[in-house]
Amino acid sequence: MTTTVESIEDSAPAPAGVLSARYRALSVGLVALVMLVAFEAMAVATAMPVVARDLGGMALYNLAFSATLAASVIATVLGGRWSDVRGPVQPIAVGVVAFVAGLLVAGFAPTMEVLVTGRFVQGIGAGLIQVSLYVLVARVFPGAMHPKVFALFSAAWVVPSMIGPAIAGFVVENVSWRWIFLGVSALVIPAALLLWRGTAGRSAEQGSADPAPGLGRKLVWATLTAVAAALIQYGSALKDGLPLLVAGVVLLVVALPKLLLPGSLRAARGLPTAPVLRGLAYGSLMAAEVLIPLMLMNERGLTPTGAGVVLTVGALGWSTGSWIKGRGTISNMTAIRGGAAMVAVGIALVSLVLIDSLPIAVAYVAMAISGLGIGALHPTVSVLVLEMSKEGEEGQNSAAVGVGESVFTVVAVAVSGALFTATGENYAVGLGFTVVLAVLAVVLAPRFVQSSKAGTMEGTAS
Is 237 within the bounds of a domain?
no
237: CB partners within 8 A, 6+ apart = 62
Cα–Cα dist 240/253, whole Å? 22
Closest among 363, 17, 411 to 228, alpha carbons compared:
411
Name the domain count of the chain. Answer: 2
Total residue count of the chain as it appears in this document: 462
Alpha-carbon gap, residue 405 to 31, rounded angstroms: 21
- Across residues 230-243, what is the average pLDDT? 79
Give yes or no: residues 202 and 279 share one domain.
no
Percentage of the chain with pLDDT > 70? 90
Q: Is residue 462 part of a domain?
A: no
In angstroms, the CA 217 to CA 259 distance is: 10
Residue 453: phi, psi to the nearest 5?
-105, 150
Residue 89 lies in a domain: yes
Residue 62, CB-side half-sphere exposure with 13 Å CA sphere? 13
Q: How far apart are CA 104 and CA 117, in angstroms?
A: 11
Residues contacting 85, CB < 8 A, separation 6+: 207, 208, 210, 211, 212, 392
Question: How confident is the model over 270-289, as a mean pLDDT?
Answer: 93
Q: What is residue 232's predicted lDDT score, i.e. its pLDDT? A: 85
Domain limit, last residue, from 179, 197, 213: 213
Residue 453, SS3 per DSSP: strand
In a domain, 221, yes or no: no
Question: Backbone phi, then psi, for 4, in 5-degree steps?
Answer: -75, 160
Report, as an integer, the average pLDDT of 33-37.
88
How many whole angstroms separate alpha carbon 378 and alpha carbon 35?
16
Identity of residue 113 = E
- Other beta carbons within 10 angstroms of residue 201's beta carbon come to 6
The domain in which residue 84 lies consists of 18-213
User: Model-level pTM?
Assistant: 0.79
Given this model, what pLDDT does residue 215 score? 74
In a shared domain, residues 209 and 304: no
- 162 part of a folded domain: yes
Query: Is the pLDDT score of 152 beyond 50?
Result: yes
If asked whether residues 183 and 323 sit together in one domain, one would say no
Residue 91 phi/psi, 5-degree rounding, is -65, -30
Tell me the one-letter amino acid at 95.
G
Q: How far apart are CA 376 and CA 383, in angstroms?
A: 11
Q: Which of 45-49, 142-146, 357-361, 444-448 has the lowest mean pLDDT?
A: 45-49
Mean pLDDT of all residues in the chain? 84
Check which CATH number belongs to the domain holding 142 and give it. 1.20.1250.20
Confidence of residue 8 (pLDDT cuts 50, 70, 90): very low
pLDDT at 456 over 80: no
Q: What is the DSSP string of 210-275?
A: S--TTHHHHHHHHHHHHHHHHHHHHHHTSTT-HHHHHHHHHHHHHHGGGTS-TTGGGT-TTTTHHH
What pLDDT is recorded for position 450?
A: 65
Query: Same structural domain for residues 271 and 200?
Result: no
Q: What is the pLDDT of residue 22?
A: 79
| Single residue among 171, 198, 213 that ends a domain in this structure | 213
Q: What is the pLDDT of residue 11?
A: 44
Instruction: Indicate if 291 and 209 belong to the same structural domain.
Output: no
**Cα–Cα distance, 432 to 436 (Å, whole number):** 6
239 part of a folded domain: no
pLDDT for the residue 282: 93
- Is the residue at 246 inside a domain? no
* Judgement on whether residues 209 and 268 belong to the same structural domain of the protein: no
Task: Indicate the residue type of 390.
Answer: K
Q: Which residue, 310, 48, 36, is CA-closest to 164?
A: 36
- Side chain identity, residue 335: A
| Coil, helix or strand at residue 4 | strand
Quick check: is 338 in a domain?
yes
**Same domain assignment for residues 30 and 153:** yes
CB-CB neighbours of 217 under 10 Å: 11
Q: Tell me, what's the pLDDT at 443?
A: 96
For residues 371 and 343, the answer to whether their CB atoms sit within 8 Å is: no
Q: What is the DSSP letter of 177?
A: T
- Provide the pLDDT confidence category of residue 462 given band limits of 50, 70 and 90: very low
Q: Residue 368 pLDDT more than 90?
A: yes
Radius of gyration of the chain (CA): 21
Which pLDDT score is estimated for 205?
54
Shared domain for 110 and 197, answered yes or no, is: yes
- More confident position, 98 or 149: 98
Q: Which of 213, 239, 254 is the last residue of a domain?
A: 213
Instruction: Tell me: do 194 and 278 sit in the same domain.
Output: no
The confidence band for 438, taking pLDDT boundaries of 50, 70 and 90, is very high
On the question of pLDDT at 196 being above 60, the answer is yes
Mean pLDDT lowest for which of 115-119, 346-350, 393-397?
393-397
- Does 209 share its domain with 272? no
- Tell me the per-residue pLDDT of 61-114, one tens digit each, with 9 for 90 and over: 767 877 888 888 899 999 988 888 888 988 999 999 999 999 999 999 999 999
Residues 191 and 296 in one domain: no
The type of residue at 389 is S
Say whether both 195 and 310 belong to one domain. no
